[in-house]
Structure 1
Amino acid sequence: MAKRILVTGLGFITCVGNSREEVSTRLRELKSGIRKVDFLGNPDLPVKVAGNPQGFSVNSSNWRNWSYPDAYSIDRSMIRSLPPQGVYAVCGVEQALADAGLEKGELKDGATGLYCASVGSPLLLHENLSAMRAAKGERGNPMGVLCSVAGTLNFNLGSWLGIRGTNCGYVSACASGAHAIGYAMDDIALGRQKRAIVVGAEEATAESLLPFSAMRALSTCPDPARASRPFDRDRDGFVGAGGATVLILEEEEFAQARGAVPYAELAGWGQGSDGYHRASPHPEGEGLAEAMKLCLAAAGMDVSEIDHVSAHATSTSAGDKAEATAIGTVFKDRLEEVSVSSPKGLTGHSLSMAGALEAAICCLMLKEGFVLGNVNLDNVDPACSHLNLPRRSEACSLSSILNNSSGFGGSNVCNVLRRCD
């Protein structure tokens, strides 16, 4: 990278905690944030668990029924145009700005960009279109577009924060959060921006998650603590989750000038596509292997410099196997030395938000000195047995982490993070 890019602030609204301290503690203690849910009031549905942030109630299609922690305040005129995940995002942004020591007024400098990852709100899109059709097009929600389509976070957060620099959204399925980070890095490296606010946010409603059940991609295990089991022989699908994660990225000299204390350095990123199938990964993980290689090249690093791989591994059979194969291809001579783990056994799979959440978790591991263990890994899938898969979270001084993300259509994105001493 032409310039050093630092992560100077983090915000978490997740099923494993609504603060940096909560998230770190639960990760170290391997405490899952996945809980029982009742979708659509139908106890006969096979999907019975999901990951939703505690202290929030935003699954109603009517914003007047929403509630969130008293520590946050959202103006009535704004909440009317927010999707459910927009509430998470506003709270996460406030948290990240405070963590970075920034005020909203400082973001209007034209040197700060906003990069969001979210699919939009299937819940509100369905409700608004249904109401329009029921009225035969004669009536509709005046905020219907603003609160539901894929750009909703950019519309709402960009105006709220007074962003005058880049304001762009990313929709590449489960690679979206990693794409937002990567393109934010490029803008800073090229001198287009000095600072970036990266937001990954997703709702976890029946409308956003149950369509994956129709694809047989969701776990039907009713036990919240054991439903998500990346790399395990007995896994049966992923567990959906919602929330928001926010990262503040800054060019090194810009951050140093205001005395910011960084969590980590984002040293490079890369992407590669499978060109194989619209919903399944390449069996050999070819696109992901290429993304990892390009990421390391962009960072000017060799595989010998990587201590840990934060795997995308969602707890699906095809996905975990393909990623294990790709890691084996790239790290073939260092597989015993490089540890590999997936947070999704604890966090579930937050779809568009996953890349942002897992990059933030990497920052915590580098800053606080621990390696995340793999929960529920009782019987390793033979196809993944060549990986070094720690079972427990342990204190460990890590220098660098490679973070993987993959999405439908074979979209693969990786970024590498280094410890800042």
Structure 2
Amino acid sequence: MMRRVVVTGLGTVNPTGNSVKESWASVKESKIGIGKITSFDTTDYKVKVAAEVKDFEPATKLDKKELRHIARFTQLAMYAAEEAIEDAGLCKEEDGSYKFDTKVSEIPADRCGVIVSSGIGGLDEIEKNDQKAQTKGYNFVSPFFVPMAICNMAAARIAIAHGFKGMCTCPVTACAGGSNAIGDAFFRVRDGYEDVMICGGTESSITPLGIAGFQNMKALSDTEDPERASIPFDKNRNGFVMGEGSGILVLEEYEHAVKRGAHIYAEIVGYGSNCDAYHITSPSPDGQGGAACMKLAIKDAGIDEKDVDYINAHGTSTSLNDKYETAAIKSVFGDYAKDLYVSSTKSMTGHLLGGAGGVEAVFSVKALEDGFVPATVGLKETEPEMDLNYVPRKGVNADLKYVLSNSLGFGGHNACLIFKRYEN
């Protein structure tokens, strides 16, 4: 018999806020976290805006001495993980207080694992060290360069900080990575390999090279108005907005969570993952791969299509994604598609690449908890074939039981998660 898996902890740092409380409040108010790029000079760039994390002070949660040896994408993940782990009540001192670098006292170390994705890893460290090598010589490259840059270090650092000795890995599946990490962690707990998993995604690629690469492949919006840059499903969309941040969940076996009196946010019940096997950047025609992935998740959850109430769409604000994702939803849900709420929180956060699925999973769980559907902010007018309820401009209150979250990545990687409102 497969074990039930629940969500007992949430953590996030993203362009809408540096905690779950702050971020979710911004999302409910339809606040956009997009603005002019401040991390480097964009004079020679067509792209001028991005969704940066603001006022990030990692030393408030992380070891100050270690920070200089930790890349930003890892700092974001560790920071979000600290919030999620504390929220789940996993790491406490004997007096009940909580601090960073405590070991998990509630469970055996080998029964807790970490799966955190990053699509690109420490791109900023690659650029920085390459510049140093070119100007000063290769002997000046930091000895910490490799462990700072590699994608798996976010997961590793979280595990090392708390002594988690279960599976520790990093799926690298572009923009599907965060959801793949959560889905893979879900299976690990459901199948009995671990009792607790820390999982999600992280990314920080708002750098000269990162923006140039996506700009030159014409994937990014060159609109300078933050209000009109990331506009998923709008007929005037012209590319995605680069975002950064992290979203982390604590998944736990149900009986284990109940026994220790943990707060349960929601249940995770379904996961689908597949590949378009079609093109390195374009989704398959009419979203065939994404449609098949949603069907896999629905089947895995053991529910009917009409049980789904809300879809947190991949919704990147690119021409092909939004058109094909809409077609995929119609293919899976038929006439019922028009009764669904479908929105893209990337209209507020931008696109966090490997971190997107983690942040959107946090939002999906909060949507269930609060009975609230976030808006597709900035959406004014769609195209004729894009006629679903995209929840334009302002979010709505709704009775939600099942929420589906889509993530679709370059290379044809697809991942779909289904969360259920918690019921005893």
TM-score, normalised with respect to structure 1: 0.93
User: In the alignment, what sits opposite 2:103?
Assistant: 105
Aligned residue number for residue 278 of structure 2: 276
The 2-side partners of 1:331 and 1:105 are apart by 45
Q: How does 1:248-259 map to 2 (within 5 A)?
A: 248-259=250-261
Q: CA deviation at 1:193?
A: 0.4
Match for 1:384 among 386, 400, 421?
Answer: 386
Q: How does 1:136-285 map to 2 (within 5 A)?
A: 137-203=138-204, 204-285=206-287
Please give the secondary structure, in 2, of the residue aligned with 1:414.
strand
How many angstroms does 1:208 deviate by? 2.7
The code of the aligned residue for 2:160 comes to S
Contact (CA 8 Å) 2:30, 2:348: kept in 1 or not?
Answer: yes
Change (3 A) 1:206 1:132: closer
What residue in structure 2 maps to residue 89 of structure 1?
77
Structure 1 residue aligned with 2:301: 299
- Structure 1 residues 30-41: aligned runs within 5 Å: 30-38=30-38, 40-41=40-41
One-letter identity of the residue aligned with 1:155 = A
SS at match of 1:383: coil
Distance of 2:293 and 2:200 partners within structure 1: 22
Letter in 1 for 2:291: A
Tell me if the contact between 2:40 and 2:207 (Cα under 8 Å) persists in the aligned partners. Answer: no
Contact 1:39 1:45 in 2 (8 A): no
Rounded Cα–Cα distance in structure 2 between residues aligned with 1:146 and 1:69: 19
**2:21 maps to 1:21:** yes
Contact 1:108 1:162 survives alignment (8 Å): no
1:219-266, CA deviations, whole angstroms, 9 ceiling, x for partnerless residues? 111111221000000001000011111111001011111111111111
Q: Report the CA distance between 1:294 and its aligned residue.
A: 0.6
Query: Residues 39, 211 of structure 1: CA spacing in aligned structure 2 closer, same or farther, 3 A cutoff?
Result: farther
**Corresponding residue SS for 1:359:** helix
- For residue 133 of structure 1, report the CA deviation from its aligned partner: 5.3
> Are residue 316 (structure 1) and residue 304 (structure 2) matched?
no
* In structure 2, distance between residues paired with 1:26 and 1:136: 46
Whether 1:394 and 2:396 are equivalent positions in the alignment is yes
Distance 1:69 1:270 in 2: 34
Question: Following TM superposition, by how much is the alpha carbon of 1:44 offset from its aligned partner in structure 2, in angstroms?
Answer: 4.1
Letter in 2 for 1:126: E
What is the alpha-carbon distance in structure 2 between the residues aligned to residue 347 and residue 192 of structure 1?
34
Aligned partners of 1:356 and 1:375: how far apart in 2? 20
Q: Which moved more, 1:117-126 or 1:291-300?
A: 117-126
**SS in structure 1 of the partner of residue 170 of structure 2:** strand
CA RMSD of aligned residues (A): 1.7
Structure 1 42/297 Cα, relative in aligned 2: closer, same or farther at 3 Å?
closer
Partner of 1:71: 60
How many residues align? The count is 408
Q: Which runs of 5+ in 1 are unaligned?
A: 57-67
- Shift of residue 153 of structure 1? 1.1
**C-alpha displacement of 1:339:** 1.1
Q: Quote how far apart the aligned CAs of 1:2 are.
A: 1.2
Equivalent in the alignment of 2:99:
none
User: In the alignment, is the contact (CA less than 8 A) between 1:233 and 1:382 conserved in 2?
Assistant: no
Relative to structure 1, the CA distance from residue 79 to residue 303 in structure 2 (aligned partners, 3 Å threshold; closer, same or farther) is: same
Aligned to 2:45: 45
Q: Structure 1 stretch 214-223 or stretch 30-39: which is displaced more?
A: 30-39
Q: Which moved more, 1:174-183 or 1:37-46?
A: 37-46
Unaligned runs of 5+ in 2: 92-101
Shift of 1:128: 2.1
- How big is the shift at 1:288? 0.5
Contact 2:58 2:75 in 1 (8 A): no
Whole-angstrom CA distance in 1 between matches of 2:398 and 2:154: 36
**Mapping of residues 345-360 of structure 1, within 5 Å:** 345-360=347-362
CA contact (8 A) 2:338 2:389 kept: yes
Q: Is the 8 A contact 1:199 1:356 kept in 2?
A: yes
CA-CA distance at 1:134 after TM superposition: 5.2
CA shift, 1:69, in A, is 5.7
In the other structure, the counterpart of 1:332 is 334
Q: Quote how far apart the aligned CAs of 1:189 are.
A: 1.2
2:313·2:344 contact (CA, 8 Å) conserved in 1?
yes
How far apart, in 2, do the equivalents of 1:137 and 1:326 lie?
49
Instruction: Output the CA distance in 1 between the equivalents of 2:29 and 2:155.
Output: 35
Question: Counterparts of 2:108 and 2:246 in 1: how far apart (Å)?
Answer: 23
Deviation of 1:39 after TM superposition, in Å, equals: 5.9
Report the Cα distance in structure 1 between the residues aligned to 2:110 and 2:406, rounded to whole angstroms: 31
